[in-house]
A and B are shown apart, each in its own frame.
Chain A
């Protein structure tokens, strides 16, 4: 029971990573395919602008999934990470290069530099989701046995199912990104970009649908267990939901109703992940049920408590970020806010008192931490020392500098 709750947390994280982080990867793909000239530039800028404030937050869902998984299902993570070392390493490298390119994107406007950076960004935006998708395919097709690198290091992820899931991950990201970016273009009042991304969404949607259909045939041959799961019971229900949501999204995009299309596109992708989980029940890896794979009860409870407590803090924070994003709070600079006008305020006067207190705390800290050297004394000693440092910082008044002088001799005040 507990392990099911934790698994649902992990799956929810995976769904969010796919529909948020996956869309960021898709945006990178569209940047690669944007073509030359000002039109291509506009597409790249639009994608960059949409991603910039949120990509880090979106990316952290992957960390969430990883940490929950290795805490609650340690043997699974150990087996998966050793057998699938190659695709997961490539995904990690893709993330590094994507991060490098992202960090540099805002640093330059020189065209040829931009070109190299954008290409690196886009290439790693394809590589990473492909490898993560292929890893999912490996698990789904039962190619990862329990053990330290017990599976085949190559064929576990180079096989029909993995190729299919890898491609599906890339295309699904592109589809999501196109829908989101079209919606953003509407909000920004950019009809040209809206048309561009509407077309892209339709193309990617058709591709994703075709891949999904072809996928059923591939899975039928390559992973019979998965095929049965997807064509019966909960798995079948998820497939139907995904298909319906996908078709609905295509209709909504056709009629340029992008806001609801955002939601239905995300549902279509989420249902695929749900279907995979349902189809694979009750084993996680061959011969290893979810119950056998789970950590002890105390750990599962700890994870649930941590996730719920974290969620209470995170949900409103994420809400704030996306509200500012989606209502356009980040779109154009408003007038600089009126500057507060209390120029005269200084805090230099109590400096001597601060300095004396700082010295007193330093001495107290030394006595407690070093001389007494016992459990409770350590605690108060550390508090006294940190207080000493903070008081000294304010006693010095780091910004209370005379208007000129100081500094090396040959420098000149401006």
Chain B
């Protein structure tokens, strides 16, 4: 089935399609790091609180309370950026919603519920320190951790569906036989996306939090409180990073089977090739990668576990069905490159930690952590650029094009500008709040 869908509303001409896409991308780029915190941070806070319950050591309590303030600040930012996203789904892509809302909407509806659960229990958890018994307070934190994961499953299930649509039939272009459960959860494509994102949640959260304390460590803030605050998130990120390499490899094999054009774009494979090589770095032009370092047959081996396998190249697809190759390819290389470096840093950390029973002592290590924090966010966003720009020109893969989905309303550049300004302020405000929290002294009795 190839782009024969009859859209719910008549498609229109939109001169600012690219701006609409960029605006959507900006909204995701700001929201997704917050999602990582939604996935991983509640579990880390609860781990610390659990240590407090087990040991009665107040340093854990102090740390868990401090992190709770971070949690609520980031959750508030996540609430508003998530709201903007749900508005944009309708505001920017009304025809996507009008045509396929009945197929994918259920995922967002359930996500709304988990969001709800999260909001309710964050309210209870944050304002319940001192007001509930320690055990009851710990228990009210559990739904936050569950809801963070459930919500991300739902949103990713919609993304999995957009990349690998199913659960409906097109009869004369009309969407019929809709089965939303099968569309979203019977989808073989979405599981690798979810596992990949779940691990990314721990990696990004872990490196960001550890990076913040690494800055303090380099400036001499290094008490027991700081050591624990660095060690716990760093350990979580360090055990997730090597696993992510294997999961990422699985994801790429799934892409090779379901979206060959995306694989060809992210590897810059111009022609269908038997025993295809991988190119590291370089620039794609005229159907080939220039200035790259070629590793013969590696692509065939990684994608199909056979050094002689034939890999479909971009020349097998019409030009107007291809994504922008260099954007996708560079984003992919960034993600893989940074991910590999983070995995190596993690293995080094785990080795030292295991053999010496202590945290590393090299300044270089803490310097590397400071760099790893923003790098992990870059890898995260590059990963989403890979899969989402790699899906272009389709909003629903091989069924509906992005330019059929876009709104007919004017004024996209204006809202794009306002949103960019608002998000700059938002990022500044969140940074200011966290900074203020970081420099405020610990409670004297508990530090």
Contacts and interface: CB of A to CB of B under 8 A. Distances in A.
Interface string A398-414: 11011101111111111
Interface in A353-402: 355, 358, 362, 365-366, 369-370, 373, 375, 378, 381-382, 385-386, 388-390, 392-393, 395-396, 398-399, 401-402
Interface string B108-127: 11111101110111111011
Contacts of B316: none
Interface string B338-373: 000000000000100110011111110110000000
A403 B108 contact: no
B312 to A, nearest CB: 19
Interface in A47-102: 52-54, 56-57, 59-60, 62-64, 66-68, 70-75, 77-83, 85-86, 88-89, 91-93, 95-100, 102
Most chain A beta-carbon neighbours within 10 Å: one of B53, B89, B243: B243
A88 B384 CA distance: 27
Contact of A57 (B81, B123, B130): B123
A406 B363 CA distance: 11
Interface string B395-415: 000000000000111110001
B195 to A, nearest CB: 5
A287 interface: no
A295 interface: yes
Contact of A340 (B56, B131, B227): B56
B358 to A, nearest CB: 4
A71 to B, nearest CB: 3
Interface residues of A, number: 115
26 contacts: A60-B116, A63-B83, A71-B102, A96-B84, A100-B429, A147-B9, A147-B10, A296-B102, A307-B109, A314-B116, A317-B120, A317-B143, A321-B124, A339-B58, A340-B52, A343-B56, A344-B55, A370-B250, A373-B253, A378-B250, A385-B247, A396-B350, A399-B51, A402-B357, A412-B220, A414-B224
A71 B184 CA distance: 13
Interface stretch (A225-233, A242-250, A272-280, A329-337): A329-337
A302 interface: yes
Given A103-B73, A355-B354, 10 more contacts: A71-B109, A74-B8, A75-B8, A77-B101, A82-B94, A337-B133, A358-B239, A395-B354, A407-B361, A407-B366
A153 interface: yes
Contact of B227 (A343, A366, A401): A401
Contacts of B217: 407-408, 411
- Interface size on B, as a range, is 35 or more
A85 B120 CA distance: 30
Given A56-B122, A77-B90, A299-B102, A408 B409 contact: no
A399 B228 contact: yes
B180 interface: yes
Nearest to A400: B357
Contacts of A82: 9, 91, 94, 407-409
B80 A324 contact: no
Contact of B120 (A314, A396, A412, A413): A314
Given A85-B91, A402-B358, A403-B224, A148 B12 contact: yes
